[in-house]
A and B are shown apart, each in its own frame.
Chain A
Amino acid sequence: KNQVEQSPQSLIILEGKNCTLQCNYTVSPFSNLRWYKQDTGRGPVSLTIMTFSENTKSNGRYTATLDADTKQSSLHITASQLSDSASYICVVTGGAGANNLFFGTGTRLTVIP
Chain B
Amino acid sequence: EADIYQTPRYLVIGTGKKITLECSQTMGHDKMYWYQQDPGMELHLIHYSYGVNSTEKGDLSSESTVSRIRTEHFPLTLESARPSHTSQYLCASSEWGGRTYEQYFGPGTRLTVT
Enumerate chain A interface residues (CB-CB to B < 8 A): 31-32, 34, 41-46, 49, 51, 89, 93, 99, 101, 103-106, 108
Secondary structure class of chain A's binding surface, majority of residues: strand
**A46 vs B104: C-alpha distance in the bound complex, in angstroms?**
8
B21-49 Cβ-contact flags toward A at 8 Å (1 or 0): 00000000000000000001111110000
Q: Known A34-B102, A49-B102; judge A43-B108 contact (CB<8 A).
A: yes
Q: Say whether B92 contacts A41, CB under 8 Å.
A: no
With A46-B102, A99-B101, A101-B45 as known contacts, state yes or no: A108 contacts B107, CB within 8 Å: no
Does B85 sit within 8 A of A, measured CB to CB? no
B residues with a Cβ closer than 8 A to A are: 2, 4, 40-45, 90-92, 99-103, 105-108, 110
Contacts of B91 in A (CB 8 A): 43
Nearest CB of chain B from residue A10's CB, rounded to whole Å: 9
* A89–B105 CA distance with the chains assembled, in angstroms: 13
Contact A106–B102 (Cβ < 8 Å): no
Are B105 and A105 neighbours in the complex by a CB distance under 8 Å?
no
Q: 24 A-B contacts, Cβ less than 8 Å apart?
A: A31-B99, A32-B99, A34-B102, A41-B110, A43-B105, A43-B106, A44-B43, A44-B105, A45-B2, A45-B105, A46-B102, A46-B103, A49-B100, A49-B102, A51-B99, A89-B42, A89-B43, A93-B101, A101-B45, A101-B101, A103-B42, A103-B43, A103-B44, A105-B42
Nearest CB in chain B: distance from A72 CB, A:
18
